C-alpha cells in the first residue's frame, strides 16, 4: 500500500485545490540549464522527505528526456504518455516506488513531450495534479530546464520553486536568466537556490553569493539559499546502478546535503501553511 493511503503523517498542509491556483504543498525543482542535477536532486529530495515520514509524490514534468524512470530503472506500465494521449486520468498513472516508499508519476524517455500539449490540456493536467496533491504531504515536480510554457504552467502550481545551479558560468548565467524571466512572470518571490556539485561547502557559499549579488544589483531580488549539495562520485555511481543514493550510499556527502535541504523544504511549506491560515 502506498503511504498516501496510510495516516503516517498528521501535519499535511492542505492543498488549495478548489481555486486551482497552486497546491500549498507542491515544490517545483527548476534549472536554467539542463544537466545540472535536477533529476538526481528531485529523486533524492523525494526519498529524503519519505524517510522523514512524509507522504511524497514525485512528478516527472520533464517528459521526453532520460529522467526519473531512467535514473531509477523503472519500466512503468502506465505513465504520463497515457494521460497526454487521453487514455488515462493522472490519478491512474501514479505508481508506488517501493524502494524509496514514495509515489511517482513517471514520464517515458524518448516519448511525446509535455510541450506538445495544447495549453488547455496542460492546465487540465496541472489542475489534476493540484487535486492529487491533497493526498500527500509534499509533491515534487521535476521540471524541464528553462522557462518555456510548460515550465511556467507547472511551476505556477507550486508554492515554492527550488532553482538548481552549479558553479559553471553557463549554469549560473542561465539561473540568473531564469530568475529574471520568472520575475516578469511573477514566479521569483518563491524561488530558493540550490547550489549543486559544489567542490566544498565554502565554494558553494561563494557561488551562491555571486548569484545573489547579481540578483540584488540588477533585479532587486534576494532569493534565499535552500542549501548546497557537494560534488560526490557516489551520485554518478548510484545513477549508474539505477538505485537512489539514499539506498546505495546513505552516508555519502551528497545524500546528507540533500537531507538537510529536505528539512529546509518542510520549513518552507510550514511557513507557507501558517501564512495561509493567518491570511
Ligand X SMILES: Nc1ncnc2c1ncn2[C@@H]1O[C@H](COP(=O)(O)OP(=O)(O)O)[C@@H](O)[C@H]1O
When CB distances are held under 5 to 8 angstroms depending on the partner's kind, the choice from ligand X, Mg ion, none that residue 197 binds is ligand X
**Smallest distance, ligand X to C-beta of residue 10, A:** 32
Strand order in the sheet with 138-143: 94-97, 102-105, 56-61, 138-143, 23-30, 158-165, 191-198, 225-230
Least distance from C-beta 141 to ligand X, angstroms?
12
**Does 250 interact with ligand X (rule: CB under 6 A)?**
no
Binding to ligand X (CB under 6 A): which residues in 170-199? 196-197
| H and E: helices and strands count for the chain | 10, 8
Neighbours of 224 (CB within 10 A): 12
Q: Using the CB atoms, write b or e for 81-109: b if 16+ within 10 Å.
A: bbbbeeeeebeebbbebeebbbbbbbbbe
Complex with Mg ion: residue 67 or 165, whichever CB lies closer: 67
In angstroms, the CA 141 to CA 155 distance is: 8
Query: Residue 166, interface with Mg ion (CB under 5 A)?
Result: no
Closest CB 233 distance from ligand X, rounded Å: 7
Segment interacting with Mg ion (CB under 5 A) among 59-67, 82-90, 176-184, 226-234: 59-67
Q: Are 193 and 163 in contact (CB under 8 A)?
A: yes
Is the CB of 67 or the CB of 192 nearer to Mg ion? 67
- Residue 236: contacted member of Mg ion, ligand X, none (CB under 5 to 8 Å, by partner type): ligand X
229 binds, options Mg ion, ligand X, none, Cβ within 5 to 8 A by partner type: ligand X
Could you give the CA distance from residue 80 to residue 112 in angstroms, rounded to a whole number?
9
Using alpha carbons, select from 134, 112, 113 the residue that is nearest to residue 24. 134
- Residue with smaller CB distance to ligand X, 117 or 145: 145
- Indicate left, alpha or beta for 108 from its phi (over 0: left) and psi (-120 to 50: alpha): beta
Helices (H), the chain: 38-51, 68-72, 80-84, 119-133, 149-155, 169-184, 201-214, 233-240, 245-248, 253-278
Comparing CB distances to Mg ion, the nearer of 15 and 141 is: 141
Query: Please, which residue, 31 or 133, has the CB nearer to ligand X?
Result: 31
Q: Does 67 bind Mg ion (CB under 5 A)?
A: yes
Q: Which of 31, 39, 81, 188 binds Mg ion (CB under 5 A)?
A: 39
Q: Is 139 in the site for ligand X (CB under 6 A)?
A: no
- How many other CB atoms are there within 10 angstroms of residue 65's CB atom? 17
- 140 pairs with which residues across the strands? 27, 58
Residues 214-243: x/- map of binding to ligand X (CB under 6 A)? ---------------x-xx--xx--x----
Instruction: Check residue 110 for interaction with ligand X (CB under 6 A).
Output: no
254 binds, among ligand X, Mg ion, none (CB under 5 to 8 A by kind): ligand X
Helix (H) or strand (E) holding 9: none
Interface residue with ligand X among 2, 9, 34, 168 (CB under 6 A) is 34
Please report whether residue 46 would count as binding ligand X according to CB under 6 A: no
- Residues in contact with Mg ion by the rule CB under 5 A: 38-39, 67
Amino acid at each position: 500500500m502506498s503511504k498516501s493511503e496510510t495516516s503516517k503523517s498528521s501535519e499535511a498542509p492542505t492543498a488549495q485545490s478548489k481555486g486551482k491556483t497552486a497546491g500549498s504543498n507542491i515544490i517545483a525543482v527548476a534549472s536554467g540549464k539542463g544537466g545540472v542535477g535536477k533529476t538526481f536532486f528531485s529523486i533524492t529530495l523525494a526519498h529524503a522527505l519519505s524517510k522523514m515520514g512524509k507522504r511524497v509524490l514525485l512528478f516527472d514534468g520533464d517528459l521526453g528526456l532520460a529522467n526519473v524512470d531512467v535514473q531509477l530503472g523503472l519500466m512503468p506500465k502506465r505513465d504520463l504518455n497515457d494521460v497526454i494521449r487521453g487514455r488515462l486520468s493522472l490519478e491512474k498513472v501514479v505508481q508506488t516506488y517501493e524502494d524509496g516508499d514514495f509515489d511517482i508519476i513517471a514520464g517515458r524517455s524518448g516519448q511525446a513531450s509535455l510541450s506538445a500539449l495544447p495549453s488547455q490540456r496542460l492546465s487540465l493536467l496541472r489542475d489534476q495534479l493540484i487535486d492529487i496533491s491533497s493526498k500527500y504531504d509534499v509533491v515534487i515536480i521535476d521540471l524541464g530546464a528553462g522557462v518555456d510554457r510548460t515550465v511556467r504552467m507547472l511551476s505556477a502550481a507550486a508554492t515554492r520553486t527550488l532553482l538548481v545551479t552549479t558553479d559553471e558560468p553557463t549554469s549560473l548565467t542561465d539561473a540568473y536568466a531564469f530568475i529574471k524571466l520568472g520575475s516578469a512572470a511573477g514566479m521569483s518571490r518563491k524561488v530558493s537556490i540550490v547550489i549543486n556539485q559544489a567542490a566544498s561547502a565554502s565554494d558553494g557559499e561563494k557561488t551562491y553569493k555571486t548569484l545573489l549579488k547579481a540578483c540584488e544589483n540588477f533585479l532587486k531580488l534576494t532569493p534565499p539559499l535552500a542549501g548546497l549539495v557537494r560534488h560526490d562520485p557516489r551520485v554518478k555511481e548510484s545513477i549508474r546502478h539505477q538505485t537512489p543514493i539514499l539506498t546505495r550510499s546513505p552516508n555519502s556527502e551528497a545524500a546528507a546535503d540533500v537531507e538537510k535541504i529536505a528539512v529546509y523544504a518542510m520549513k518552507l511549506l510550514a511557513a507557507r501553511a501558517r501564512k495561509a491560515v493567518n491570511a
